[in-house]
RNA sequence: GGGCCUAUAGCUCAGUUUUAGGUUAGAGCGCACGCCUGAUAAGCGUGAGGUCGGAGGUUCGAAUCCUCCUAGGCCCA
């Protein structure tokens, strides 16, 4: 007789194989069609809101794993906060302006900067950004991310552009903006400023010259005194440079305050150089060691003077940390208009940002000696002049890495141009920003230190760019007296225009059409004005998103609860947002900042084309499904670098299957269970079932707390572990007999189903923020009536199944004992080969008195160990070594175990070995099954 | 070169700070071996894996505190 038909075997259509790649789109469709995210928001309409403000990704390429990771983390938060009872309106955004797109567009059109009218470039840029916004939006959606995809914020929206301009004007009218020269990369051939991204480094042959700067009489007098020497012959300070043409712009020479310098006599000349360069110089200049007169620290020389090598003027001696012993003489010639470091140190010493070179690389006509000459021609003239005046100590040429223009491939120069700045000090922006982040919570906590140390050191913010794809610096300048209009009243019309038509009118309309009628200069009364040509740094665009989004959209709120980005954004968006917000609102735009690391390969190295270790999310979706990417995001601790590799993914797929299959088993065994009628109250449940439910409520607590703390890897680990241990290994394995073999409506079976019901209900909700597709899949396959049409409309479970401390301890002891009992069973199976299934085993146990209370219920242990017979004995007879196992526990003192094969016959229905099998009316069956069969 | 951060079994993570540094360092997976064949491209069990990146130091005692080094990441120069 085949008894299988009399069993209550699991039934479900929920497939074991996830087939994620194929099935995921169906759930996406379901969410979209049923407007699930909108429904969630509607359901939480009156709930307290949680504002996670999306940092806008740049719309110029497909998403990569980093962008995917970031958005999935945000999605996990949106979903978990929502299921924890908050209203979470999530407005995605895109950063649209800026150089990378403008460059890409120029490249695609095959034009150089300035070759096309700004409006044409701008329109092409807009199209380009739109294209990638649409691509990225679909890619984000494909990952299962919930958001208001139909109403994102774009920094190129007219309304947003108007906000950018308005916020800039707030800085302007509060006197936090100023204009000053600053060196930038400059291509004299293309007659344009270059961004760092437009610079290529290539080998270039330059002059290498050592130039003497003669001490002034006063300085020499001081030095004689200072070093206690008497030298009346000329003393010179030796510097090294590869750009003789910057010497006309020289305003200072810099020593490193920490280095030692020497006064030496070399070829009858008195010179000053760094001690650490002497031997290198001897080799380089092919000279013998000099005679050393004196050694000194340069601090005392600060603010003393030397003579310019060929102009009738003086140059200042200053101190600068960036001077090194790597090359040259340890003393650096400073031209603040022609180098970044020169500029910075120039600001410190209040030097002029002096630029004698025009935009095409020619000296202005009035400059002595080199006026009107191109810088390369000037190099020759300057060399001649130096020789003539005996200021050239040594001349050579070197080949070194030098910046070139990526378009015309010519060498470029550093040249100061007027730029706009937001002052860190005018209105105490730095101090205010530092003060405000004290109230911000950082995860991880070191983020605060990182952000504040950047704020402490950063220079004034250069916000102007000489480009067209962006929001203009809306400033009018009086054409007569040069006065800038600062009051907002002059700009209301411009802002309104931008709101309606975008920024194009600024580029095409004359200023009198943008200004209010009859505007005249408040200073000189002149009616004509010039528009500023530069545009704003894109970091300003996204930096004011609190104004363009949080303040603008009614369901949002300023400040936000959370900003969540990669750790690079300490210098980026966290930073610019803070400055913009503090500078105009006086407070930080966020209450909490969460940062994640970067995606790296198995060895912890960054992903790069050259290393060939780049993994694309698109490929992973195709091979594994988006769900596995989501699981990966959750499983890794994002506070550090986040590794990804084939092995990691394989492990995750396996873990995924375990979770899925466990749920499948629960579903399959609840096909005839109606929670409304069949649920058994916790108090009435048997002990083991109560213990599992207690463990379940511990899991729920832990998982909910971990979501709150944004520790998603804990969520993943806990859920997975619960499926493996409490469910699969314990209650499913042990109670399977009840499910299959007892009467369908029996207490034992319903009790087990009750546990299954709670476990499944909890798991599906707890996993939903991470395993969104699978949770929805499970939800749709629940065999009983559902409270909502989507799992995302439900709340996290809040069951609390408590046991007394005594009960908990007892069960921990039971499990400890169980582990010990399984060991001799395994020996019986593997070594002695006397049993296969544990059901074939009989176990006899001798134990110390302290263990007796746990072991006195024989039938419980038969059930709990799934064996044929368990007996507690006072004494164990000598075992037959071939046919029995005798085992003394090492872990639990005083526990001796004897295992042998049972002689009981197997019940053909439930496969248990029972003494009564063969003695009943139906000899195939055990007593229990006999009764069940009779009942059926 | 500077600032910040990271380094625990093959993999992913606990344990380290603020409940004071304390006996043989934990979990799950994977692996090996065995079992089951009524979750079956499933399930159960047992076992082997770590000088806690390296070297010093503090201490009776350190994965945990200090110093240095190595490798890697982010941001600057």
Q: Which of A49, A414, A434, A459 has the alpha carbon at shortest distance from A249?
A: A414
Q: Which helix (H) or strand (E) element contains residue A595?
A: strand A590-596
* A28 Cβ contacts chain B strand, under 7 Å: no
**Nucleotide nearest A835 (Cα, C1'):** B35
Q: Got the DSSP string for A364-406?
A: -TTSTTTTT-BHHHHHHHHHHHHHHTT-EEEEEEEEEEEEEET
Q: Are A239 and A306 in contact (CB under 8 A)?
A: no
Instruction: Record the tokens describing residue A751, joined without a space.
Output: 């009790």
C-alpha distances (whole Å) from A32 to each of A41, A44, A45, A83, A530 are: 14, 19, 20, 19, 51
The C-alpha atoms of residue A66 and residue A596 are separated, in whole angstroms, by 10
Instruction: Record the tokens describing residue A603, joined without a space.
Output: 């060895």
Q: How far is the CA of A787 from the C1' of B43 (A)?
A: 32
* A268 Cβ contacts chain B strand, under 7 Å: no
B34 C1' closest Cα residue:
A830
Q: Which SS3 state, helix, strand or coil, does residue A834 take?
A: coil
Q: Are A179 and A203 in contact (CB under 8 A)?
A: no
* A658 Cβ contacts chain B strand, under 7 Å: yes
User: Residue A10 region, left (φ>0) first, then alpha (ψ -120 to 50), else beta?
Assistant: beta
Q: Which residue has the tokens 């037959």?
A: A880
The C-alpha atoms of residue A260 and residue A325 are separated, in whole angstroms, by 11
C-alpha distances (whole Å) from A103 to each of A146, A286, A468, A509, A929 are: 33, 47, 11, 25, 79
| HEC assignment per residue over A722-747 | HHHHHHHHHHHHHHHHHHHHCCCCCH
> Maximum Cα–Cα distance for chain A, whole Å?
130
DSSP A363: B
pLDDT of A899: 96
Q: Which of A552, A773, A565 has the alpha carbon at shortest distance from A74?
A: A565
* A459 Cβ contacts chain B strand, under 7 Å: no
Instruction: Record the tokens describing residue A236, joined without a space.
Output: 């010179």
**Nucleotide nearest A340 (Cα, C1'):** B77
Q: How far is the CA of A340 from the C1' of B76 (A)?
A: 14
pLDDT of A407: 67
The C-alpha atoms of residue A834 and residue A35 are separated, in whole angstroms, by 60
**β-bridge pairing A590-596 and A560-566:** parallel
The C-alpha atoms of residue A48 and residue A52 are separated, in whole angstroms, by 13
Q: How far is the CA of A838 from the C1' of B36 (A)?
A: 10
Q: How far is the CA of A641 from the C1' of B74 (A)?
A: 9
Say which residues have a Cβ less than 8 Å from residue A809's Cβ, sequence separation at least 6.
Answer: none
Instruction: Record the tokens describing residue A183, joined without a space.
Output: 């060196």
Q: Got the DSSP string for A123-174?
A: HHHHHHHHHHHHHHHHHHHHTT--S-TTS-EETTSHHHHHHHHHHHHHHHHT
Q: How far is the CA of A714 from the C1' of B15 (A)?
A: 14
**β-bridge pairing A392-405 and A535-536:** unpaired
Q: Which of A340, A312, A324 has the alpha carbon at shortest distance from A254?
A: A324
* A767-796: b (≥16 Cβ within 10 Å) or e: bbbbbbbbbbbbbebbbbeeeeebbbbbeb
pTM: 0.91
pLDDT of A222: 85
H helices of A792-926, where? 805-830, 852-855, 858-865
The C-alpha atoms of residue A823 and residue A689 are separated, in whole angstroms, by 24
- From the number of C-beta atoms within 10 Å of its C-beta (0-12, 13-18, 19+), residue A854 rates as middle
* A576 Cβ contacts chain B strand, under 7 Å: no
Q: Which SS3 state, helix, strand or coil, does residue A458 take?
A: coil
DSSP A432: H
Q: What is the ipTM of this complex?
A: 0.96
Chain centroid to CA A304: 49
**Nucleotide nearest A737 (Cα, C1'):** B38
pLDDT of A377: 86
Q: What are phi and psi of A823, to 5 degrees?
A: -65, -55
**Nucleotide nearest A654 (Cα, C1'):** B29
Q: Which of A244, A550, A543 has the alpha carbon at shortest distance from A422?
A: A543
Say which residues have a Cβ less than 8 Å from residue A460's Cβ, sequence separation at least 6.
Answer: A178, A421, A422, A423, A424, A425
Q: Which SS3 state, helix, strand or coil, does residue A634 take?
A: helix
Enumerate the β-bridge partners of residue A60. none
Instruction: Record the tokens describing residue A121, joined without a space.
Output: 């470039």
Q: What are phi and psi of A150, to 5 degrees?
A: -80, -20
The C-alpha atoms of residue A629 and residue A619 are separated, in whole angstroms, by 11
Q: Which of A35, A36, A37, A77 has the alpha carbon at shortest distance from A54?
A: A77
B11 C1' closest Cα residue:
A648
Q: What are the residue ranges in chain A where pLDDT is below 70?
A: 190, 195-198, 407
pLDDT of A209: 86
The C-alpha atoms of residue A571 and residue A445 are separated, in whole angstroms, by 16
Enumerate the β-bridge partners of residue A869. A842
Q: Are A211 and A237 in contact (CB under 8 A)?
A: no
* A705 Cβ contacts chain B strand, under 7 Å: no
The C-alpha atoms of residue A123 and residue A133 are separated, in whole angstroms, by 15
Q: What number of other Cβ atoms are within 10 A of residue A36's Cβ?
A: 20
Which of A's residues 603-622 have CB atoms within 7 A of nucleic strand B? Answer: 604-606
The C-alpha atoms of residue A629 and residue A281 are separated, in whole angstroms, by 58
User: Residue A414 region, left (φ>0) first, then alpha (ψ -120 to 50), else beta?
Assistant: beta
Which of A's residues 850-879 have CB atoms within 7 A of nucleic strand B? Answer: none
Q: Are A820 and A711 in contact (CB under 8 A)?
A: no
Q: What share of chain A is helix, strand, coil (3-state, %, to 5)?
A: 45, 20, 35
* A320-358: b (≥16 Cβ within 10 Å) or e: beebeeeebbbbbbbbbbbbebbbebbeebebebbbbbe
* A913 Cβ contacts chain B strand, under 7 Å: no
Which of A's residues 799-838 have CB atoms within 7 A of nucleic strand B? Answer: 819, 822-823, 825-826, 829-830, 833, 836-837
* A712 Cβ contacts chain B strand, under 7 Å: no
| HEC assignment per residue over A233-257 | CCEEEEEEECCHHHHHHCCEEEECC
Tell me how long chain A is.
936
- From the number of C-beta atoms within 10 Å of its C-beta (0-12, 13-18, 19+), residue A509 rates as middle
Q: How far is the CA of A813 from the C1' of B18 (A)?
A: 33
pLDDT of A358: 87
Task: Tell which strand B nucleotides have any atom below 7 Å from a protein Cβ.
Answer: 3-7, 10-14, 27-30, 33-47, 71-77
The C-alpha atoms of residue A272 and residue A134 are separated, in whole angstroms, by 63
B71 C1' closest Cα residue:
A604
């Amino acid at each position: 007789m085949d008894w299988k038909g009399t069993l209550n075997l699991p039934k479900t259509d929920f497939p074991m194989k996830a087939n994620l790649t194929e099935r995921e789109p169906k759930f996406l469709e379901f969410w979209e069609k049923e407007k699930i995210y909108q429904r969630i928001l509607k359901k939480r309409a009156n709930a307290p809101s949680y504002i996670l403000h999306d940092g806008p990704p740049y719309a110029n390429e497909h998403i990569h794993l980093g962008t995917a990771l970031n958005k999935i983390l945000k999605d996990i938060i949106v979903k978990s906060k929502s299921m924890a009872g908050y209203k979470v309106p999530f407005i995605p955004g895109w950063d649209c302006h800026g150089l990378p797109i403008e460059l890409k567009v120029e490249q695609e059109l095959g034009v150089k900067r300035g070759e096309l009218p700004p409006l044409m470039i701008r329109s092409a840029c807009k199209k380009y950004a739109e294209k990638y916004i649409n691509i990225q939006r679909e890619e984000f959606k494909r990952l299962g991310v919930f958001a208001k995809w139909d109403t994102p914020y774009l920094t190129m929206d007219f309304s947003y552009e108007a906000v950018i301009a308005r916020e800039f004007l707030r800085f302007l009218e509060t006197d936090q903006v100023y204009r000053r020269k600053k060196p930038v990369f400059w291509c004299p051939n293309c007659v344009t400023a270059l961004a760092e991204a437009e610079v290529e480094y290539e080998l270039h042959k330059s002059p290498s010259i050592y130039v003497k700067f003669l001490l002034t009489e006063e300085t020499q007098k001081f030095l004689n005194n200072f070093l206690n020497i008497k030298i009346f012959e000329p003393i010179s300070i030796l510097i090294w440079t590869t750009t003789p043409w910057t010497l006309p712009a020289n305003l200072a020479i810099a020593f490193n305050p920490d280095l030692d310098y020497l006064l030496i006599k070399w070829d009858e000349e008195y010179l000053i150089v760094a001690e650490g360069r002497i031997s290198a110089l001897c080799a380089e200049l092919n000279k013998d060691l000099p005679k050393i007169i004196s050694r000194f620290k340069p601090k005392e020389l600060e603010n003393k003077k030397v003579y310019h090598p060929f102009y009738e003027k003086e140059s200042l001696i200053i101190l600068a940390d960036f001077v090194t012993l790597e090359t040259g003489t340890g003393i650096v010639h400073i031209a603040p208009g022609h180098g970044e470091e020169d500029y910075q140190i120039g600001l410190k010493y209040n030097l002029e940002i002096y630029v004698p070179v025009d935009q095409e690389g020619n000296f202005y006509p009035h400059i002595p000696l080199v006026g009107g000459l191109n810088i390369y021609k000037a190099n020759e003239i300057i060399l001649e002049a130096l020789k003539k005046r005996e200021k050239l100590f040594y001349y050579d040429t070197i080949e070194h890495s030098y910046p070139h223009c990526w378009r015309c491939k010519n060498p470029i120069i550093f040249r100061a141009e007027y730029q706009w700045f937001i002052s860190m000090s005018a209105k105490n922006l730095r101090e205010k920003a530092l003060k405000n982040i004290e109230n911000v919570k950082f995860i991880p906590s070191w983020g605060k230190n990182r952000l504040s140390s950047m704020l402490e050191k950063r220079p004034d913010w250069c916000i102007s760019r000489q480009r067209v794809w962006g929001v203009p610096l809306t400033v009018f300048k009086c054409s007569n007296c040069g006065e800038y209009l600062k009051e907002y009243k002059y700009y209301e019309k411009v802002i309104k225009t931008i709101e309606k038509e975008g920024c194009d009118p600024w580029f095409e309309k004359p200023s009198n059409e943008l200004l209010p009628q009859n505007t005249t200069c408040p200073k000189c009364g002149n009616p004509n004005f010039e528009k500023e040509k530069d545009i704003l740094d894109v970091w300003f665009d996204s930096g004011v998103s609190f104004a363009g989004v949080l303040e603008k959209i009614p369901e949002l709120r300023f400040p936000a609860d959370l900003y969540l980005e990669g750790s690079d954004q300490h210098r980026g968006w966290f930073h610019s947002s803070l400055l913009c917000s503090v500078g105009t609102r006086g407070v930080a735009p966020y209450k909490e900042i969460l940062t994640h690391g970067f995606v790296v390969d198995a060895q912890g190295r960054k992903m790069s084309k050259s290393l060939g270790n780049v993994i694309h999310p698109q490929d992973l979706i195709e091979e594994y499904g988006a769900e596995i990417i989501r699981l990966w995001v959750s499983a890794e601790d994002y506070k550090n670098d986040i590794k990804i590799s084939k092995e990691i993914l394989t492990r995750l797929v396996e873990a995924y299957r375990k979770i899925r299959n466990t749920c499948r088993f629960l579903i399959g065994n609840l096909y005839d269970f109606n929670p409304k009628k069949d649920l058994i109250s916790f108090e009435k449940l048997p002990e083991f079932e109560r213990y599992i439910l207690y463990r379940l409520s511990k899991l729920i607590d832990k998982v909910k707390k971990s979501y709150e703390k944004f520790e998603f890897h804990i969520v993943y680990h806990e859920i997975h572990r619960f499926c493996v241990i409490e469910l699969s290994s314990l209650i499913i394995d042990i109670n399977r007999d009840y499910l299959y073999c007892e009467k369908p409506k029996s207490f034992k079976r319903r009790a087990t189903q009750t546990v299954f019901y709670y476990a499944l209900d909890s798991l599906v909700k707890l996993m939903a923020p991470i395993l969104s597709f699978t949770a929805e899949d499970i939800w749709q396959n629940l065999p009983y009536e559902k409270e909502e049409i989507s799992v995302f409309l439900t709340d996290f479970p809040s069951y609390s199944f408590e046991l007394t401390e005594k009960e908990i301890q007892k069960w921990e002891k039971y499990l400890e004992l169980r582990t010990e009992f399984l060991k001799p069973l395994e020996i019986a199976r593997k070594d002695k080969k006397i049993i296969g299934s544990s059901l074939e085993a009989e176990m006899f146990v001798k134990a110390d008195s302290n263990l007796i209370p746990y072991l006195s219920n024989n039938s419980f242990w038969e059930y709990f160990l799934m064996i044929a017979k368990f007996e507690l004995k006072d004494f164990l007879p000598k075992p037959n070594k071939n046919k029995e196992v005798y085992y003394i526990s090492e872990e639990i003192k005083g526990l001796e175990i004897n295992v042998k094969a049972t002689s009981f016959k197997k019940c053909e229905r439930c496969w248990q070995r029972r003494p009564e099998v063969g003695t009943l009316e139906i000899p195939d069956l055990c007593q229990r099954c006999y009764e069940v069969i009779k009942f059926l």
